Each structure stands twice: as structure tokens, then as C-alpha cells.
């Protein structure tokens, strides 16, 4: 079976494009509040050390909410955004520097050279994957991020995102189709993953913790105005890539890239 939810997500995006003006469709495809959340994600990364000269990998970049927010900041660095939907990537690269890369992927992989990125981020990505798939992505991030670099991801916790779980189970009880999987991650799982990966947890912040210092006021789609500091709305985990320094090796574009495809057997009756 193909990597789950690919076809459904692509169908959702195409339906949004057919029903709404393109900017609105591209915002709805990534959950709305396009400009506001782009600012929040940008300032979160800056708070954890992103510099204008850094190389950043944005896995699941969607329609470029973070990328567009970073254009005036990441002036001397490099950027790679990956996603599974071509239409989102086409919109994401509009207005971005031509040397920035936007790549469509269908497997769990990061098409980038080993030890070449300063930070890899996953916003609202692990929230829609199985735990095994998340671990595979962490293996890929460990490979591409330099020793001592950061791996940052958002995740759902029952204590702070119960409304999402409630909406999901109500949909299931009603027999309605689901566009995507909503996955909750316990901190015990994260601790087990980093222990086996040889990484360390720098910090975990809750979904409701307004710890992100904003550079300007933001307004969400529902009219909420936030100034000073903001919460992401999902919990945030920051990892240090504590792998040993490797011997110098040439870095081709996809050097060392490894693809993980997880398949599932159809249930038998």
C-alpha cells in the first residue's frame, strides 16, 4: 500500500484550489492563519538559534508559510522545503530566492547531503504520522543535520490538544471520512527515541506556553490579536544532534540519502 493519506491529501488540496481563491486555498491547506503562524514559526526557530547564514530544512513545508516568513531573514543561508503535494510546493517557492530548493517526496526521506544542515524542523508533520514513520524521519534528520545541530518538531499531547482528539473521535463515531491521521505523542516515546538515537532533549514546551517572542503583532484568522509573545498551539520538542564528528567527505546534493517506505498488509477476513 502506498504511503498513507497521500492521495487523500492531494485530493483535499485540489478541492480547496477549485473552491477558493489561490491564497485562501493555500492557507486553508496548511490549517489557516498563514501569515500569523509563519511569523510564530520563524521566531521560534530564531529563538532556538537559527541564524541568517544557516542551512534550514523544513520537512512538510506545505504552501510555504514558514519559507515566506523567512525570506527577509535567511538572507545568506540555504533552505530546503519538502512536501508530498506538487501544488503546495509551486506556491511555496513563489517569492522565495531562486536558489532555495523545494522538492516533492513520496517516501520518508530528506533529499539533502549528510551533515549539511544546521537545523531541521517538522511543524505539524509528526502529528499526522505513525510513530514508526516519525522515528524514520528522525533517523533522516540525524543524518542530514550537522553534529551539534538542532532538530525541532511540534507534536500533539492529550493534556493540551484534547479538542483535536475530541473532533477526531467524534468523526470516527459518526462514520465520516477522515482526511488525515491525528497522532498524539507521549513524552515517554520521545525519551525512548532520543535514547536509542543517541540524541538529547534540549527543551520541551507545551502547546499553550506563550514562550515565542514575536517581532511584530499578529492576527489569526479568527480575529485574535497577539503581541509580545505567542504559543504555537502544538507542543514543541527541541533535540540536539549529539552524533560524533564524522570524517570529512564530499557532499553531493543527495549524498547518503536513504528512503524508507512503510507498507501495510490489507486485513484479511
- For residue 133, is it within any domain? yes
* Predicted local confidence at residue 57, as pLDDT: 98
* Predicted local confidence at residue 5, as pLDDT: 62
- For residue 245, is it within any domain? no
How many residues in total does the chain contain?
269
Domain assignment of residue 129, given as a range = 32-240
Task: Give the angle 224-228-233 at the CA atoms, nearest 5°.
Answer: 55
Distances in whole angstroms, Cα of residue 195 to Cα of each of 61, 110, 154, 202, 242: 27, 22, 19, 13, 11
- For residue 10, is it within any domain? no
- For residue 156, is it within any domain? yes
Q: What is the pLDDT of residues 199-226, one digit of tens each?
A: 999 999 999 999 999 999 999 999 999 9
Query: Is residue 91 predicted with pLDDT exceeding 90?
Result: yes
- For residue 18, is it within any domain? no
Task: Supply the pTM of this predicted model.
Answer: 0.89
* Counted domains in the chain: 1
- For residue 76, is it within any domain? yes
- For residue 15, is it within any domain? no
- DSSP string of 62-113? TTTHHHHHHTTT-SSSEEEEEES-HHHHHHHTTTS-TTSEEEE-SSB---S-
For residue 185, what pLDDT band results from cuts at 50, 70 and 90?
very high
For residue 4, what pLDDT band results from cuts at 50, 70 and 90?
low
- For residue 236, is it within any domain? yes
* Predicted local confidence at residue 63, as pLDDT: 96
> What is the CATH classification number for the domain harbouring 199?
3.40.50.150
Amino acid at each position: 500500500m502506498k504511503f498513507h493519506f497521500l492521495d487523500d491529501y492531494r485530493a483535499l488540496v485540489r478541492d480547496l484550489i477549485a473552491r477558493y481563491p489561490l491564497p485562501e486555498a493555500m492557507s486553508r491547506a496548511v490549517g489557516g492563519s498563514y501569515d500569523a503562524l509563519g511569523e510564530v514559526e520563524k521566531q521560534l526557530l530564531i529563538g532556538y538559534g537559527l541564524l541568517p547564514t544557516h542551512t534550514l530544512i523544513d520537512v512538510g513545508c506545505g504552501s510555504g508559510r514558514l519559507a515566506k516568513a523567512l525570506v527577509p531573514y535567511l538572507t545568506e543561508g540555504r533552505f530546503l522545503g519538502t512536501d508530498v503535494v506538487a501544488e503546495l510546493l509551486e506556491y511555496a517557492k513563489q517569492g522565495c530566492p531562486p536558489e532555495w530548493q523545494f522538492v516533492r517526496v513520496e517516501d520518508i526521506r530528506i533529499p539533502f547531503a549528510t551533515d549539511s544542515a544546521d537545523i531541521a524542523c517538522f511543524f505539524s508533520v509528526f502529528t499526522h504520522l505513525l510513530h514508526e514513520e516519525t522515528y524514520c524521519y528522525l533517523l533522516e534528520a540525524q543524518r542530514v543535520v550537522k553534529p551539534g545541530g538542532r532538530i525541532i518538531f511540534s507534536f500533539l499531547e492529550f493534556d493540551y490538544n484534547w479538542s483535536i482528539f475530541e473532533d477526531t473521535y467524534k468523526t470516527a463515531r459518526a462514520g465520516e471520512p477522515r482526511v488525515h491521521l491525528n497522532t498524539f505523542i507521549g513524552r515517554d516515546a520521545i525519551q525512548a527515541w532520543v535514547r536509542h538515537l543517541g540524541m538529547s532533549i534540549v527543551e520541551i514546551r507545551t502547546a499553550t506556553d506563550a514562550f515565542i517572542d514575536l517581532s511584530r503583532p499578529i492576527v489569526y484568522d479568527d480575529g485574535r490579536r497577539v503581541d509580545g509573545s505567542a504559543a504555537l498551539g502544538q507542543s514543541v520538542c527541541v533535540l540536539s544532534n549529539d552524533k560524533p564528528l564524522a570524517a570529512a567527505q564530499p557532499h553531493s546534493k543527495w549524498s547518503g540519502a536513504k528512503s524508507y517506505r512503510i507498507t501495510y498488509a490489507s486485513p484479511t477476513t
